[in-house]
């Protein structure tokens, strides 16, 4: 466990405004071969010979194996908090083990994210490339997060590489833990977002206003089809530290964005020309197309046994994916009109042309007929427009807005994401 005093003291040193621009020319990471750490289990340190004073720690969860390729969880520490890099406690508990993600914690020994930020980003990209060379990693399935001044490197990464999900941007979720992330949150491909800040740190280095600004950008984007899967978490008694409840809340988002945006087959495991179009379709989330194409492959007379086994492996993974899509849609339809409406359409499109399409349509149609479903969508749009005026000063909702917020809260199920978020806002009084 990281000593709380260490985190608080270290990150308090970030007291100057930081901004980011994507204008700097991005430097491609070197092509890497597998290292001596290939397949290594547990947690270990890598000292980067190409970048003096930059290291990274890797944590491989017990869920990983050659048969179960992983995703990536990347973290940027705060100012002068390089001493926290060896610790994966919260990540392992809530992200790495539950979702089979390999953790990478960058460690900048000068403790200054504002110094040679481009070089620090280049090192992080090389760390990702090395982990991808040493393990079976599915690019596009992952989480990128930052604390305090780590948001500077994080934001530069987004500005330069988030235009397309893949090896250069292997993520589907963002988590900002009291982060000085000063870039429009709508930059790049759609993501799920967790934005956390404490009441006791609200005015520190403009953290509260940064968090509010990123949340405002994401909420306003929902009017144009942006992803509403956003949790802005104000923790009243939290100082400048990452709490377990921060990470726990952030992790609730991952299953939804994983299904919405992330590929799920490790393509090098299936190099056969007969399967290439199936794998490509599956990883493009055209699951209906992939399943129907796979059925044709398996139906061919005289199919070689080795090819058949690979095809059956893909079939099992596709069927498991479909089952997850149906289960999650059912859950959202019962508890969260806003997320059900958004993700339901994405999941439905993935399953076009297979029986799951009809099943999903039935679930979503029944949900849309439920009392209050449409009203919740309208109320969410109103909330998105009003949000920027809720916190004019500190972490507490403006008194003049409390009654309006209480009225909006009545439209959302208590267990829905936005219902819980508004309830938390109102509890801060």
Q: For 144-179, how does the pLDDT look when each residue is reduced to its tens digit (9 = 90+)?
A: 999 999 999 999 999 999 999 999 999 999 999 999
3-state SS class at 49: coil
Does 4-260 carry CATH code 3.40.50.1820?
yes
| Rounded distance between C-alpha atoms, residue 311 and residue 235, angstroms | 48
| Rounded distance between C-alpha atoms, residue 26 and residue 206, angstroms | 28
Residue 116 falls in which region: left (phi positive, over 0), alpha (psi -120 to 50) or beta: left
17 — pLDDT class (breaks 50, 70, 90):
very low
| Rounded distance between C-alpha atoms, residue 31 and residue 125, angstroms | 11
The Cα-based distances of 140 to 29, 230, 427 in angstroms read 17, 19, 37
Q: Within a 13 Å sphere around the CA of 96, how many CA atoms are in the beta-carbon half? A: 22
What confidence score (pLDDT) does residue 429 get?
84
Angle at which helices 207-221 and 373-386 cross, to 10°: 140
Q: For 285-338, how does the pLDDT look when each residue is reduced to its tens digit (9 = 90+)?
A: 999 999 999 999 999 999 999 999 999 999 999 999 999 999 999 999 999 999
**Cβ atoms of residues 339 and 229 within 8 Å:** yes
32 — pLDDT class (breaks 50, 70, 90):
confident
What is the rounded average pLDDT of the residues 393-404? 95
Say whether pLDDT at 15 is over 70: no
* Alpha helices in 369-416, H assignment, sequence order: 373-386, 399-409
Q: Where are the domains of the chain?
A: 4-260, 267-368, 373-427
Q: For 86-124, how does the pLDDT look when each residue is reduced to its tens digit (9 = 90+)?
A: 999 999 999 999 999 999 999 999 999 999 999 999 999
């Amino acid at each position: 466990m990281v000593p709380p005093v260490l985190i608080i003291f270290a990150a308090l040193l970030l007291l100057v405004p930081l901004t980011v621009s994507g204008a700097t020319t991005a430097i491609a990471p070197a092509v890497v071969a597998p290292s001596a750490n290939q397949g290594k289990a547990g947690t270990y340190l890598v000292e980067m010979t190409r970048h003096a004073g930059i290291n990274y720690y890797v944590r491989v969860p017990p869920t990983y194996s050659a048969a179960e390729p992983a995703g990536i969880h990347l973290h940027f520490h705060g100012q002068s908090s390089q001493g926290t890099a060896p610790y994966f406690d919260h990540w392992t508990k809530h992200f790495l083990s539950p979702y089979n993600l390999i953790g990478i914690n960058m460690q900048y020994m000068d403790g200054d994210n504002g110094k040679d930020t481009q070089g620090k980003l280049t090192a992080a990209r090389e760390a990702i490339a090395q982990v991808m060379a040493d393990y079976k990693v599915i690019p596009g399935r992952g989480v990128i997060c930052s604390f305090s001044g780590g948001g500077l490197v994080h934001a530069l990464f987004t500005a330069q590489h988030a235009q397309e999900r893949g090896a250069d941007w292997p993520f589907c979720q963002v988590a900002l833990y009291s982060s000085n992330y000063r870039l429009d949150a709508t930059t790049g491909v759609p993501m799920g977002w967790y934005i956390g800040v404490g009441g006791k740190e609200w005015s520190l280095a403009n953290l509260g206003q940064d968090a509010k600004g990123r949340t405002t950008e994401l909420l306003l984007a929902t009017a144009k089809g942006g992803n509403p899967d956003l949790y802005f978490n104000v923790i009243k008694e939290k100082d400048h530290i990452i709490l377990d409840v921060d990470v726990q809340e952030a992790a609730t988002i991952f299953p939804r964005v994983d299904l919405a945006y992330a590929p799920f087959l490790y393509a090098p495991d299936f190099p056969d020309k007969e399967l290439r179009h199936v794998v490509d379709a599956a990883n493009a989330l055209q699951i209906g197309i992939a399943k129907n194409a796979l059925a044709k492959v398996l139906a061919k007379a005289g199919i070689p046994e080795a090819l058949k086994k690979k095809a059956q492996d893909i079939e099992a993974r596709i069927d498991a994916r479909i089952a997850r899509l149906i289960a999650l849609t059912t859950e959202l339809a019962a508890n969260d009109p806003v997320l059900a409406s958004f993700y339901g359409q994405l999941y439905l499109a993935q399953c076009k042309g297979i029986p799951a399409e009809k099943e999903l349509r039935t679930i979503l149609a029944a949900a849309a007929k439920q009392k209050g479903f449409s009203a919740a969508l309208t109320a969410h749009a109103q909330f998105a427009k009003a949000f920027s005026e809720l916190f004019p000063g500190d972490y507490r909702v403006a008194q003049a807005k409390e009654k309006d917020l209480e009225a909006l809260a009545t439209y959302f199920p208590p267990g829905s994401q936005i219902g819980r978020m508004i309830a938390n806002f109102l509890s801060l009084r």
